[in-house]
Structure 1
Amino acid sequence: MVEIADKGAGVLKKSRYEEAGVNIDKANALIEAIKPIVTSTFKRGVLTEIGGFSGLFALDTEQYKEPVLVASTDGVGTKIKIAIMANRHDTIGIDLVAMCVNDIVVCGASPLFFLDYFSTGQLENQVAEAVIKGIADGCKEAGCALIGGETAEMPGLYQVGEYDLAGFVVGVVERNKIIDGSEIGVGNVLIGLASNGIHSNGYSLVRKIFFDELGLKIHDEIPGFDGKTVADELLVPTKIYVPVVLHLLKAGSPIKGIVHITGGGFFDNIPRILPSSCKAVIKKGSWPMPPIFNFLQERGDISKEEMFRTFNCGIGMILVVPEQDAKDVLFQIQAMDEKAFSIGYIAPRKNEEPQVVIENI
């Protein structure tokens, strides 16, 4: 705490900035506390320590003939509300990293480094440290370095105990190995990589159903979930798909397109990579839907169409591969102890047809 001597009164008083709600000393103490957490993510290429004005990363240009940098930014939406309600802050950072790195791996990029933005009304170092620990855990899983970030204390902008997060990732891919969906063709098979829950989308609706309509509390047990509480289920961190996708690419798997199933579900995300002459046909029931989605659909009275446009419904990422390679790709994924399913195929599309069709919906 910054203290200034008041010679006239003979006492010490707070700085005017601290009176306004901003404690610079507390922020500096946080930086010192998280240094070992952050440096544990460092890898070859990191040139700076935490605490500088910017992070430096040296790209190994000898490893690439035509390196292309790939960047993405994202947040975790109102899932943060769940973490705050439950006073559990150690996994929301994993969600933050996952939402960013999953977005760049779809084009075949390897994550290089990550930066975070943590903003709050009044800094609580224990909470911030837990959040950043989660970010570091996510970075380690994704294979990228956490080389910097920003902690902003903004009294008056947030309610007491509230905070928000944003993440930024930069990765790299060889130009001739960029996956953009342009090679997708009729007959290709859709392989779905299993999600481990809701991930980080649709939480405004989830909160409405759980708390407003069903009247459940954050630590209440969910009926039919074998003792799992609302917090247990809703705070399962978003799955990071970087290791499995990069392993497949390194092994030479002929992946023609990759879709991250985030906000907009199947209907809005799959068309982002499809040629206009193609449509994706999804075989509903070809994978086991986690119980949380059945619960939300039934208790929230959500139509099947809306379920597939709001949630991942058990599939967090989709790979498009040639039919003759589908079994081998599935075998490789399962050999990594990951769950994957053949969930559909690419068919020809007429101009007036939708680009996503879900059978038996």
Structure 2
Amino acid sequence: MSKNNQKDASQESLTYAQAGVDITAGNRAVDLMKSAVKSTFRREVLTDIGGFGGLFALDIKKYAEPVLVSGTDGVGTKLRVAMMMDRHDTIGIDCVAMCVNDILVQGAEPLFFLDYLAVGKLDPEKVASIVGGVAEGCRQAGCALIGGETAEMPGFYADEDYDIAGFTVGVADRAKIVDGSTIAPGDLLIALPSSGIHSNGYSLARKVFFEHAGHNIHTELPQLGKTVGEELLVPTRIYANVVKALLTGANVKGMAHITGGGITENLPRILPEGMRASVELGRWDVPPIFSVIKSLGNVAEAEMLRTFNCGIGYVIVVSPEEVGKVSAILSDLNEKFYTIGVIESIPEDGDKTPEVCYRGELPWA
């Protein structure tokens, strides 16, 4: 190249779009998602889309002593399955669910949600589809989507890659916070079924299906009644309506969201010192997806229980006297549930006793 040509190149007027960030596409994405976002607004929302911050007017008159409860999470490597399927309309539900289900545990009402979406190359339709899923999750949870950020990051993510995370804020009356402190021996464990894997254990699930077994997203397995990809993209359940009804009509002592770590790791998080949970493994049906993973990967039962929810997405602890109320509430909601165990005292000589003791065997298909 001649010196003159080098000079011409150095004087070229570069744009942000040439660097890989398309502001026009970003504006179009916002236009496409506006109606979905607005469909989540509650009466307390004071701002429209596009402001620097989301305003939410908390009605403090509803609470004797309001306490804000917050949670944040992402979706994990389930995103890779969405990219493989090129289907992005439900992954936002997972993002909301992982955040909202966590704050429900303490008895909070979800108020609002914010999302953060980072992409390699901004495709307005894809972004609108992802955020549409977030809005659907917010509608299911009863919270408002009052803000978010979409960041186009060329050179950091591949063009087709993206990541999503979220943040939710809820409120609980201080005197009604559910913290597990009153859990006592003899209390019962009431479990609500999951919709599938939810959003945990996907690194193992993908290894089992795609590497170990040699399947792909289009593989149809008779045990599942659908393709591997369709099963792995089933959205995470949001338990907001069920929990709200239970907190209104019964005395709930503790709750656990069964996420990564399964029952083994999550149930102990709400147990007072000196208590353990005795779980009867034969008390609930195991969805086929878990049996398939166990069989294809030759995964030990203990590893399954410590990695996946194995069909139980949420656990509620109540006294035996409250079981009748809980049963009536869940029946009115047509909600399936299982009584899966009981709270026990850890024996005085039980220093090495696990905080979750399993009895029996799961009914693997």
TM-score of the aligned structures, taking structure 2 as reference length? 0.93
Give the structure 1 partner of residue 4 of structure 2.
Answer: none
Matched, 1:245 2:230: no
Give the drift of 1:292.
Answer: 0.7
Q: Is the Cα–Cα contact under 8 Å of residues 245 and 329 in structure 2 kept in the other structure?
A: no
Give the structure 2 partner of residue 298 of structure 1.
Answer: 295
Give the drift of 1:16.
Answer: 2.2
Give the structure 1 partner of residue 19 of structure 2.
Answer: 20
Give the drift of 1:217.
Answer: 1.3
In structure 2, what is the Cα distance between the partners aligned to 1:299 and 1:279? 32
Q: Is the Cα–Cα contact under 8 Å of residues 275 and 344 in structure 2 kept in the other structure?
A: yes
In structure 2, what is the Cα distance between the partners aligned to 1:31 and 1:302? 44
Give the structure 1 partner of residue 260 of structure 2.
Answer: 263
Give the drift of 1:297.
Answer: 0.7
Q: Percent identity of the aligned residues? A: 53
Give the drift of 1:174.
Answer: 0.1
Q: Is the Cα–Cα contact under 8 Å of residues 191 and 330 in structure 1 kept in the other structure?
A: no
Give the structure 1 partner of residue 271 of structure 2.
Answer: 274
Give the structure 2 partner of residue 29 of structure 1.
Answer: 28
Q: Is the Cα–Cα contact under 8 Å of residues 106 and 177 in structure 2 kept in the other structure?
A: yes
Matched, 1:254 2:251: yes
Give the drift of 1:142.
Answer: 0.3
In structure 1, what is the Cα distance between the partners aligned to 2:205 and 2:159? 23
In structure 1, what is the Cα distance between the partners aligned to 2:195 and 2:335? 11
In structure 1, what is the Cα distance between the partners aligned to 2:303 and 2:285? 18
TM-score of the aligned structures, taking structure 1 as reference length? 0.94
Give the structure 2 partner of residue 358 of structure 1.
Answer: 358
In structure 1, what is the Cα distance between the partners aligned to 2:152 and 2:140? 29
In structure 2, what is the Cα distance between the partners aligned to 1:304 and 1:242? 30
Q: Which runs of 5+ in 2 are unaligned?
A: 1-7
String of CA shifts for 1:315-358, please: whole Å, max 9, x gaps: 00000000122233123212201111000000011333211111
Give the structure 2 partner of residue 84 of structure 1.
Answer: 83
Give the drift of 1:19.
Answer: 0.9
Partner SS, residue 319 of structure 1: strand
2:24 partner letter: D
Alignment of 1:1-361 (within 5 A): 15-226=14-225, 228-251=226-249, 253-350=250-347, 351-361=351-361
Q: Is the Cα–Cα contact under 8 Å of residues 262 and 312 in structure 1 kept in the other structure?
A: yes
Q: Is the Cα–Cα contact under 8 Å of residues 330 and 341 in structure 1 kept in the other structure?
A: no
Partner SS, residue 34 of structure 1: helix
CA pair 150-218 structure 1, distance change in 2 beyond 3 A: same
Q: Is the Cα–Cα contact under 8 Å of residues 30 and 128 in structure 2 kept in the other structure?
A: no
Give the structure 2 partner of residue 5 of structure 1.
Answer: none
Give the drift of 1:360.
Answer: 2.2
In structure 2, what is the Cα distance between the partners aligned to 1:84 and 1:30? 19
In structure 1, what is the Cα distance between the partners aligned to 2:343 and 2:151? 46
In structure 1, what is the Cα distance between the partners aligned to 2:346 and 2:257? 22
Q: Is the Cα–Cα contact under 8 Å of residues 114 and 145 in structure 2 kept in the other structure?
A: yes
1:279 partner letter: R
Partner SS, residue 16 of structure 1: coil
String of CA shifts for 1:116-155, please: whole Å, max 9, x gaps: 0000110011111111111000100100000000000000
In structure 2, what is the Cα distance between the partners aligned to 1:332 and 1:104? 21
Give the drift of 1:248.
Answer: 1.1
In structure 1, what is the Cα distance between the partners aligned to 2:328 and 2:285? 18
In structure 2, what is the Cα distance between the partners aligned to 1:225 and 1:273? 33
In structure 2, what is the Cα distance between the partners aligned to 1:230 and 1:292? 9
CA pair 14-135 structure 1, distance change in 2 beyond 3 A: farther
1:219 partner letter: H
Q: Is the Cα–Cα contact under 8 Å of residues 94 and 134 in structure 1 kept in the other structure?
A: yes
String of CA shifts for 1:258-280, please: whole Å, max 9, x gaps: 00000111111111110111100
Give the structure 2 partner of residue 4 of structure 1.
Answer: none
Partner SS, residue 192 of structure 2: strand
Q: Which runs of 5+ in 1 are unaligned?
A: 1-8
Partner SS, residue 173 of structure 1: strand
The farther-off stretch of 209-218 and 347-356 is 347-356
Give the drift of 1:44.
Answer: 1.4
